[in-house]
Structure 1
Amino acid sequence: MTITITIPSSTADSGTWQVLRNSIGIPAMHMQLLHTDRVIMFDRTDFGSSNLTLPNGMCRRFSKSKAFVDCTAHSIEYDVATNEFRGLFLESEVWCSSASVMADGMLVQTGGFGKGERKVRTYIPCSNSTCAWKEIDGGMNVKRWYATNHVLPDGRQIIIGGDQQFNYEFFPKSSNDKETYDLPFLLQTHDKYAQNNLYPFVFLNVDGNLFIFANNRAILFNYKNNTIVRTYPIISDGGNPRCYPSTGSAVLLPLKNLESQNIEAEVVICGGAPIGSWQKTKEGQFWEGLTTCAKIKITDPKAMWEMENMPRGRVMNDMVMLPNGNVLIINGASLGVAGWDQGVNPILNPFLYKPDNKSGSRFEVLNPSTISRMYHSSCVLLRDGRVIVGGSNPHMYYDYQTPFYPTQLSLEAFSPPYLDPIFAPLRAKILEPTPQTNIKYGAYFNMTFQVNGTLVKDSVRVTMLAPPFNTHSFSMNQRLLVLTTSEVIPTLNSTYKFNVTAPTSSILAPSGFYILFVVHQEIPSEGVWIRISD
């Protein structure tokens, strides 16, 4: 079944698409950018053979049948600079799993399905194409499928929830936190028919507590002593669900004024599906996704949700934080929910959300792709400002022939409006700090950049992005900070310099690798990798 809804072309004004590869061999269900400018992507291992043969004669014996041997890859490492990729060997099942990057740059990936549901897998980045997945048996205390990970100020990851798991645990485990800790909030927000609290939205607040949103409710949670600090109001649209499978998405808006005693933090949640949508898709009825975005200032003692409407209803949409503080809403469908063949009518146009604009003027509709990105799509922001988009496999197994949203092996790049060549004279080039510079909390560091066009001093900002792990329409650990700077001083040859103050603590910016950008008149530079630590 397909229903066509067309957004008038007069509203689609900017942004460009490029197909990077017609096939990367696998549908990219999960995606993470590493500080080597390589992107790890993976699918699942029990769909049968992919279209990419593993190197060096490697094979995986399918656990349910000794007669079936799979010599194809279900994970790749994609090199942004060369547009090349290589297959990676995965033994256990990673379907609908979760991950985040540790302070040293190592990707830690947790859970999955079947015999993979208690596994931990690690990937240490390298630049010589020798790095590979390593798997740890029993790394999780319990089965984790559809869980959410977040990096903590002390360097650990917290892994929250999952299918039938109303609890959380940590990785790595110390002598003080080997247990699994109950979180009744997850049981209270669980719908036994629609499971609307899978992949809960989790953000580290500026007070060190965690904002956790599940189904249609949110709490501020002290994970150190397992207590709820506060309960937020239910979103004021009738309590419609936003988490999987009624899949919307969420972002923590840029953190600003980092030297203030009262830093504000806001969360925006967009899209989802009306109550009852999941059940109706089983009857062949596909309801329109939610048109609403809900924003809340989670640091406000009297916090209330502010509602506004997107240009269209949307489900299975991703929300990507851009270097200039705007949000790209991309991928997904207009009807149905997440799940096997439970969503129809792809929305090909990204929406641009500008949080600093007044309500009613925050959205722009951008130019469309020609490729449907439905269930099991993924996307991440690259250091050069593009967003790469892959995946889409809404069927039980690989299906390349169906006219209804075939399994996608392609990889695209979307260039947001700020990459239009007309803005090239405004785009800064960072000269200092050099890539991979180590920065200490609260320290001052020098920044030097060039701009070929006329510089407007008051329109220069420095932002710092933690690249997230993306799957199932949520980017785990996504975080953008606007840093404090001194006055911009001109030097020679269209070069400028100033001082930048690093975030003051790991609560604001957990230790690890970030991408640093100079933003001039809303046009971001190409970013450079830095590492922040004590």
Structure 2
Amino acid sequence: MRTHWRVLVGMGAMLGLALAQPQQQGRWDYLGLGSKRQDGGDLFIKWRAETLIFNYGTWPSALHDPPYKTGVPSWVNGNDQTYGIHAALLPGKWTPPGMSEPLPRGTVILWGLGKYYRLNDLFYSYTPYLLWHWRYPQDNMLQRRNYGHVRYLRDPLVSSYEYDYLNQANIFCSGHSTLHNGRLFVAGGHLDPQVNPPGEPPRYYGLKCAFTFNLDKYNDPAGNADVGAYGWSPMLGNPAGMDDRRWYPTPVGLPDGRMLIVGGFRFNPGPEPNDPDFHQWPHLTRTYGVWSPDTDPNGLGRFDWYALPSNLNNPDELGVLRRMGNIYPRLHLVSFMENGRLQADIVYTGPFVEAQRMDVAKIGEPNAWGPAIQVSPLRKYRHYGTSVLLPNPALNPTQWGEQALNQTLSLGGGVTDGCQNWFDPEILTFGARSQPIGFNTIFTPSELAAPRMHLNGVILPTGELFVLGGQSIPDVANCVWGRDDIVFDTLMLRPGTNGWLNSTWQRMAAMPSYMSDTGERTKTADGTRIYHSSALLLPDGRVLSTGTDASQTAFGPYQLNRIPLIYSPPYITQGLPRPRVTGQSKEENLDYGETISVQFDGTANPIRAVNLIRPGNNTHSFDFDQRMVRCYFRQTGAGQLEATMPWSPKIAPPGWYMMFLVDKSNVPSEAAWVHLRPVPNGGEELSLRVEFELGAYKLSPGDAQKNPIGIEVRAVGTGELLRVYTAPMSALDGQAGTTVRITTSLPEGQYDLRPLPYLNWIGKTTRASLRTNPTLRLTPAR
């Protein structure tokens, strides 16, 4: 059967290549050094977590010294691993050592396996991490800065106690997400003890540690009250760290800027399937938490913890524990309409087949998590499959529901008790809580449906989904697999005329199967992306693919990939003109629904979409932060448009987003950046009434829903323009009135409010408080 499948895939690949031109499939590139090997080939980058390979030349030299002593001690030489098991795109501006000006926003941080060692009766752990930027200036160093810049995250406190789960710094197998202030939040990690406790089987343990990383402080070696050495701040103090050890936890950003932490093993269950500990589930975490970044004057925040249902005698509660207290639960913040109002839930989409949801307004309540929902008997269990929050297909939304994000895609994965993987894309639609969760599958031609686990899905600026990586035979349950089972084909999923339910697949450029690393132990093809790989969208619209570290077993080969690759989608390889953002009226601390002006050039085509994409945080086949939000916009002239920020933090949690302009040819710009500020109570919606004086002009009840209305807010007395909001309107009532809802950070007080001209009407100024449900009036233009 396996051979038959490979023949089908090979025939499908030839068919796909015959039907599509190379520029329509995109292109894979290596990171070059600008020089040649002895055989004439290009030299290219290898990212490996080993000090020696970086310790040369004038940049950055001594800054690569290991953390606890100068020179290169023997314990470093064995750390010949890979960066890119974990990858995150940071929105801060980084000034690398030796440079006087910061690089554009969008520095990538990568790390892999941390290490432990003993020295003078003390126990040390550390994690090497690498900073790399997609736009280093080219100079006479043969592009050597493409190697990136390496430092080490060190233990907050060093002691002789090996099982200090709080004060260790191996953040391999952590969960990570970007906070609203642009800092990286990292929770949990990995303890691989050198000696297990007496009577204990060999285990890995989770950590209680949590950190934030501030890119702006990367060059600060001493730290201060606000930040630790080189930008890292450990969560120490009271309460200290997390409440429990967590290995593979999932963080999710909430509408109010807090961070939800769910899941992670306390320790791995052990090597024996009949281990009595395993069946009593002591390795599963029994709580979930919320970290509040703004409650501590030093910026270290506060944790609050709540119980997950965990009654072993209650199958329903045990099911909650098994799903939520497990490794990397696939969680998303979704938004949907219920009774005419926007709502938000945290939803669980895998790997177990049951779905589950929690009202974000009920976090901490005893029954916050709703019951497990058997969505369909056709749903697949998806060990190391991926789950993606899908963009709303409405290109230029005019109503709340057209901007809400309520569909997820589950893709790939397999079972843990048998040798079977699948592809089988499934869409879940989360509507009102009183309604069943929708379940649909996407038709996939057999020649494109290669089963795969350890895959990744990356949302592109155009709103399409790029799928890469994986292996066709599971690497669990004693399944025999080899290098021939690695999947190099990549795919693009494009929404259809009716959205994602009739979307279509297209084969894209295959990842390189050439084998640069031919070592007897590490023989790995350059395009191998399986266990411990990651993928990120870059601000220029390309995709960074890194990592792979799969240990050798009796059933499969050792695969270690230290070669980063860059994918250029067809909108780059076809050579079409790209829009280019040349200016914007405001970048930072934007309100929800606030409208800004954007200037652009580079294309004569009209703009068809303005898309915001949150910078990614990827590991283990899942991106904790990935979401695209489409903005309402109006093109106001040649090279000019007005873009309205998302209408609610329930749709787009506060923080930094890449803003892409997409033209009529479906070609995106490089990213500009916008920052959505946190608002009180996670987005209190204020209601304003708008009334039209009809007179000679008529406005049907439904016309008001076709175009949002602009409202300017000015300071009383000075007339200073404070904000321009643009918001959807509901249908007109019998008095030619309608309701507009906005979310604002403006303090309480009196303001001069005026609707902007709307069709054949002009607005009157009303002095009122935004929080008293004021009525705004428009009269016919004379």
TM-score range, shorter chain: 0.7 to 0.9
Deviations 1:41-93 (A, max 9, x none): 111213xxxxxxxxxxxxxx6259959988x9621111221224111212322
Q: 443, 446, 450: which one pairs with 2:601?
A: 450
AA aligned opposite 1:392: T
Q: 8, 11, 17: which one pairs with 2:16?
A: 11
Shift of 1:271: 2.9
Instruction: Describe the shift of the 1:391–1:64 C-alpha distance in structure 2 as closer, same or farther (beyond 3 A).
Output: farther
Shift of 1:268: 3.2
- The number of residue pairs the alignment matches comes to 491
- Which one scores higher on RCO, CA 8 angstroms, separation ≥ 6? 1
Structure 2: how far apart are the matches of 1:342 and 1:350?
Answer: 24
AA aligned opposite 1:531: H
Q: Say whether 1:136 aligns with 2:235.
A: yes
Instruction: Describe the shift of the 1:349–1:524 C-alpha distance in structure 2 as closer, same or farther (beyond 3 A).
Output: same
Structure 2 residue aligned with 1:147: 249
Q: 457, 467, 470: which one pairs with 1:319?
A: 457
Q: 366, 369, 385: which one pairs with 2:541?
A: 385
Q: Is the 8 A contact 1:189 1:197 kept in 2?
A: no
Shift of 1:524: 0.9
Deviations 1:90-110 (A, max 9, x none): 232222110111111010100
Q: Is the 8 A contact 1:93 1:116 kept in 2?
A: no
CA RMSD of aligned residues (A): 3.2
- Which runs of structure 2 are paired with 1:31-430 in the superposition (5 Å)? 31-35=87-91, 36=93, 37-46=106-115, 62=117, 66=121, 74-82=128-136, 83-91=146-154, 92-114=169-191, 117-126=207-216, 129-130=219-220, 131-137=230-236, 138-163=240-265, 164-172=284-292, 178-183=304-309, 187-188=318-319, 197-206=326-335, 207-214=343-350, 215-225=352-362, 226=365, 227-228=367-368, 233-236=373-376, 238-242=378-382, 246-255=383-392, 256=394, 260-263=399-402, 264-274=404-414, 277-280=415-418, 286-287=419-420, 289-299=421-431, 301-310=435-444, 311-312=448-449, 313-337=451-475, 344=482, 345-356=485-496, 362-370=504-512, 371-395=527-551, 404=557, 406-423=559-576, 425=577, 427-430=578-581
TM-score by length of 2: 0.58
Shift of 1:40: 0.9
Shift of 1:437: 4.0
Shift of 1:462: 0.2
Q: Say whether 1:432 aligns with 2:583.
A: yes
Structure 2: how far apart are the matches of 1:339 and 1:23?
Answer: 32
**Paired residue secondary structure (2:575):** helix
AA aligned opposite 1:382: L
Structure 2 residue aligned with 1:509: 652
Once structures 1 and 2 are overlaid, which stretch shifts more, 167-176 or 155-164? 167-176
- Give 5+ residue unaligned stretches, structure 2: 32-43, 50-81, 94-105, 137-145, 155-168, 192-204, 221-229, 266-283, 296-300, 311-315, 336-342, 513-526, 678-744, 746-782
**Paired residue secondary structure (2:557):** coil
Instruction: Describe the shift of the 1:420–1:405 C-alpha distance in structure 2 as closer, same or farther (beyond 3 A).
Output: farther
Q: Say whether 1:519 aligns with 2:662.
A: yes
Deviations 1:267-311 (A, max 9, x none): 33333344xx3233xxxxx42x21211112212534321012442
Deviations 1:191-229 (A, max 9, x none): 69xx99521121112212211223111122024434357
**Paired residue secondary structure (2:215):** coil
Shift of 1:116: 6.0
Deviations 1:130-149 (A, max 9, x none): 54433334411111111111
Deviations 1:459-478 (A, max 9, x none): 52100011121011110021
Q: In percent, how many aligned pairs have the same letter?
A: 21
Once structures 1 and 2 are overlaid, which stretch shifts more, 168-177 or 304-313? 168-177
Q: 461, 464, 474: which one pairs with 2:612?
A: 464
Structure 2: how far apart are the matches of 1:261 and 1:166?
Answer: 36
The structure richer in helix per residue is 2
Structure 2: how far apart are the matches of 1:68 and 1:122?
Answer: 23
AA aligned opposite 1:443: E
Instruction: Describe the shift of the 1:129–1:460 C-alpha distance in structure 2 as closer, same or farther (beyond 3 A).
Output: farther
